A = this chain, B = another copy of it.
Amino acid sequence: MSKKPRGRLFFANPGPTNIPDSILHAQAHHTVDFMDADFIALYNRCVDGLKRVLRTEQNLFFYTGSGHAAWEASLVNLFSPGDRILIVETGNFSESWGRMAKGLGLDVQTIGAEWSTGADPAAVTAALAADSGRAIKAVCCVHNETSTGMVLPLKAIRAAIDAAGHPALLLADTISSLGSLDFRMDEWGIDCAVGGSQKGLMLPTGLSFTGVSNKALEVHKTSTMPKHYFSWTNMLTRPHKSFIGTVPTSFFFGLQEALRLIHDEEGLQDVLARHSRLGEAVRRCVQHWSGNNGPQLYCKNPARYSDSVTAVLMPEGFNADDIRKTALSRFNVSVGGGLSKLGGKVFRIGHMGDLNEPMILGTLSVVEMALKLNGVPHTPGGVDAAMAYLADAAKAN
């Protein structure tokens, strides 16, 4: 079948995510002067609303750039060449962030962990305790590891750092968790929270940001890493206290609408509850399939299941990309592939952002058909298991 299937594309690739029409239309705004008072007022409302999502009352810097830009901003603003940082291994994205840090000249120490079970916070305490010279400047964590569908308990990491009595900063990548999973920057003592537009905020790719604690802003002053486009010091001299150069006004018309949907139309707590409900439905479905040597949840640690993305491990001898190809080419459903060492071994179902029951059930139905069409062993009825859970959840409300 060389033709495109009709109907709406189901985008269940874990990021970017579906963009609601109202955001698409808001962002399709004619150009305005970013120095215009009306725009600055709108911009300031967006800053306030996004801080409410981050749950911080501290500092926020925006970047015209993708999530990787915000990663880089966090590193170049806080560190100096040769500084050591401690990265907690979670999967492809902890690897990538570490690779970026090395590329920028930092000394990267990694707390190794099995991707499917996750790191032990005690190992963080141990590593910091062993760092008597206080060489470690920061602990870097990916809150929600998009490649594995696992969450790292940031509160526990904060406790682990405190237990070591170590002054290291705590950096958290919240790219695939913010607006989907519970995240509390100030309460959890996050010094730098890295986020992007294209996941739980339901915007196109191209705007990213960092929440920055007052402590981190102090540390920044000592950073000697060369920087300009990402420099917080430079940004603080600008009218928007963000951005070097032109402000990407379109994104703020979109962001304003996204924040309206999150805070005013649904409410942040209900947004999180919905992600929790849909995430559990996906897992019930996969757990059902897993009988009969079927595909299973890649994550072996139920305490760390992600409510925004689920990685599904294929049975030995079957390629995850065949499932993806069938789903996309025959049924117009886009599912994510395995990253790094998981290539071909897992496929990933994104369930973050603007999503509801029929969207997720339509997606699961297609995946179950794709398993069948590819002769992958599984216990049929996964969709029924998801429906049973969702119906019960609806009853409970």
Contacts and interface: CB of A to CB of B under 8 A. Distances in A.
Contacts of A63: 65
Interface of A: 1, 3-11, 13, 15-21, 24-33, 35-36, 38, 63-69, 71-72, 76, 81, 99-100, 103-105, 196, 198, 204-207, 225-229, 231, 234, 243-251, 261, 265-267, 270-271, 274, 326, 328, 330-334, 336-337, 354-363, 365-366, 368-369, 372-373, 380-381, 383-384, 387, 390-391, 394-395, 397
B333 A69 contact: no
Contacts of A380: 384
A387 B361 contact: no
A96 to B, nearest CB: 8
A380 B394 CA distance: 17
A266 B26 CA distance: 20
B358 A226 contact: no
B369 A387 contact: yes
A20 B8 CA distance: 7
B357 A366 contact: yes
A220 to B, nearest CB: 14
Nearest to A67: B245
B228 A226 contact: no
A38 B242 CA distance: 35
B354 A358 contact: no
Nearest to A63: B65
B357 A359 contact: no
Given A11-B31, A245-B68, A357 B369 contact: yes
